[in-house]
Amino acid sequence: MAGKPVRPANAIDQTRRMLSLVTYLRERPGARIEDVARAFGITEDELVSDLDVLPMCGTSFRGGDLLDIDTDGERIWWHNPAALGAEAAEPLRLAADEATALLVAARAVATLPGLRESDRQALLRATAKVETAAGEAAGASARLSVTFESEGGVFADVDRAIAERRRLWIRYYSPARDELSEREIDPIRLVSVGHTYVEAWCRRSEARRTFRLDRVAEIKILDEPSAPPEIELRDLSEALVQPAAEDPVVVVEVGPGGRWVAEYYPHDSADELPDGGLRVTLRTPDPASLKRLALRLGRDGRIVAPDDLADSARRAAREALAAYDDAGTAG
Amino acid sequence: MAIAKAERLMNLALCLLGTRRPLSKRELRESVEAYLEAASDDAFNRMFERDKDDLRELGLVIETVENLEGEVGYLARRDSNRLPPITLDAEEAAALGLAAKVWQQARLAGAASGALQKLRAAGLPEDVDPYGAHSALEPRIPVHEAAFEPLMLACRDRRPVVFDYRKATAAQPEPRHVEPWALECWRGHWYLAGWDRDRGAERVFRLSRITGRVRSRGTRYTAPVPDVVTVRETVASWAGESADRSARIRLRTGAGYPLRAKATSVRELGGGWEELEIPYGHGLDAWLVEFGADVVVLEPAELRADVVDRLRAVAKG
């Protein structure tokens, strides 16, 4: 699945998994590798590596009661389930981290405003049951919380359009140009990474685009079917927008009060300046979009390159000041 | 060849779970092959202590019992390790399946799958691709900050920490001694709330501004932990979202959609201009300047002066 983080093999994760596996296999003689891997959310290779370790395990090395578990590559057989007392194969209670990871995630998903009501109810019921079963282990989960941001109405329409495979019409705000534009898009999926976005095929630009839901000013579900071309879904675990190597370079120098620029803009380098400021070098396909940044920075920073961007920011500031000179007094 | 750690942990776990009486270290050493192979008593002792900690990390409750001869024994009692009965229907199982996938942090992603596997072993219904049939929703919890994991553990175990923190406008980081209470993710960024020992007050820290390592302090909390910790409200006020006043501006027709979306009133002025009343909180001046000549501040005078001041700085640039 796209977006699934790759984790290094970890002895603790594997041990935890094998303990559950033992319980699970005990109830299911001849379980199919494919089914077990899916139930456990792991690859078949990972499962096979667990099956290589299990026969080396038992309640006592000396006693000769190692687990006699083997596989023909398709099914898994456990020939001596009695090697573990009935009690030693019972499901184990949740660890504090396990309860936290599951409960915090479940509570966060439940805050998605566009979540189907029946799904939210199921999630809330499941959360309550897990809290009860986790007991004390659930306590620490209150120390972690996550809020997803998204526009409820827009979210619901996008979600419905995806489910019904329908095209969407949106009026979308572009902060770079400070303008609203109308587009028809074929939605592909909704992604929540801090903000919520819809990834879609944009019919106007004939390209894949990502739209932030809180910038959708208006939305309509159209009657036309959605027909996005087959495209490979990207891993969105990193930044949603990655500058390309061929994009023009912009250099910004900021004082201490403008250091936040390095936190908000993906950049190539940020070098310390003697006054406590930074020299930030970044790339963007559309340098004109950074005029807003130059204006926002005020005395906390300035555009060093390219020149025409620096000029346009100065011009914009002078133009804006003229209005105050003309108006003289407020109102 | 050295025996894989997972095999050693699994054997220790099965021994501790399978016994009805406490097993001494000597007995355990004889029962687990990897321990028999340990080069020395010291090597075994170190390995055993680490392994016990690891098993506790994944939730095993291991008791330490002293017998009449003063020898220490270990066991994992069934009563304290058994998952209480839990019955989830297919819909609930699908919902948890979606939730278990949202973490993008290795430790919590592993823990969430581990939780689901334990529930699976306890009979959680297996479904086809959760939500896949009718929704394309992919929530993700991003964790890019290196300070996240040590702070998460410190919050969990209630351990004071010290870290170097660079305030938004400061060039140099400063060490901060904090009793961490809670972590919260808002708009994709993680924040820590806790008791700042140096300032003797509650503070909220943005994790991306922590530089260097988070170190634990082996001491106790000195301040009481509040029942409810509100990180989000504090951060929202930094972001200027707790406006307590309002401002009047002139906005060019067609420009500044986000300002319009926040406006409490809009009045047509003619000549391609409109007058808006908008909430006035921290940071509004910097935001208004972004719209350049499309915005003119009418009042209050203080905001007008701030905006003019900013524009002059850019014009001189």
Answer yes or no: do A62 and B152 touch at CB < 8 A: no
Partner-chain residue, chosen from B17, B94, B139, that has the shortest CB–CB distance to A112: B139
Q: Check if A328 contacts B (Cβ < 8 Å).
A: no
Answer yes or no: do A194 and B119 touch at CB < 8 A: no
Position B170 scores a pLDDT of: 75
Domain ranges of chain B: 5-81, 90-121, 148-238, 245-316
Placement of tokens 């008593």 in the chain: B41
Q: Minimal Cα–Cα distance from B114 to chain A, Å? A: 6
Answer yes or no: do A190 and B136 touch at CB < 8 A: yes
The CATH class of the B5-81 domain is mainly alpha
Q: If you measure CA to CA, which chain A residue comes closest to B124?
A: A39
Residues on chain B touching A237 (C-beta within 8 angstroms): 104, 140, 142
pLDDT digits (tens, 9 = 90+) for A13-70: 999 999 999 999 998 999 999 999 999 999 999 999 999 999 989 876 556 678 899 8
Residues on chain B touching A137 (C-beta within 8 angstroms): 59
The CATH class of the B148-238 domain is mainly beta
Answer yes or no: do B95 and A318 touch at CB < 8 A: no
What's the distance, CA B305 to chain centroid? 40
Q: If you measure CA to CA, which chain A residue comes closest to B85?
A: A133
Partner-chain residue, chosen from A97, A178, A236, that has the shortest CB–CB distance to B255: A178
Question: Is the predicted ipTM greater than 0.90, yes or no?
Answer: no
Q: Check if A153 contacts B (Cβ < 8 Å).
A: no
The DSSP element (H or E) to which B162 belongs, if any, is strand B161-165
Q: Check if A252 contacts B (Cβ < 8 Å).
A: no
Q: Which residues of chain A have pLDDT under 50?
A: 1-8, 328-331
Q: What is the mean pLDDT of chain A?
A: 86
Position A243 scores a pLDDT of: 67
Residue B237 has pLDDT above 60, yes or no: yes
The 3-class secondary structure across chain A, one letter per residue, is CCCCCCCCCCHHHHHHHHHHHHHHHHCCCCEEHHHHHHHHCCCHHHHHHHHHHHHHCECCCCCCCECCEEECCCEEEECCHHHCCHHHHCCECCCHHHHHHHHHHHHHHHCCCCCCHHHHHHHHHHHHHHHHHHHHHHHHHHHEEEECECCHHHHHHHHHHHHHCEEEEEEEEECCCCEEEEEEEEEEEEEEECEEEEEEEECCCCEEEEEEHHHEEEEEEEEEECCCCCCCCCCCCCCCCCCCCCCCEEEEEECHHHCCHHHHCCCCEEEECCCCCEEEEEECCCHHHHHHHHHHHHHHEEEEECHHHHHHHHHHHHHHHHHHHHHCCCC
A152-225: CATH topology: SH3 type barrels. (2.30.30)
Residue B55 has pLDDT above 50, yes or no: yes
* Strands B189-196 and B174-186, bridge-based pairing: antiparallel
Residues on chain B touching A291 (C-beta within 8 angstroms): 292
pTM as predicted = 0.78
Which of A16, A147, A148, A293 is the mutation pick for testing B, counting most B CBs within 10 A? A16
Span A11-89: which CATH code? 1.10.10
What proportion of chain A, given as a percentage, has pLDDT over 70?
88
Give the C-alpha separation, B255 to A173, whole Å: 10
Which residue type is seen at A247? D
Q: Check if A200 contacts B (Cβ < 8 Å).
A: no
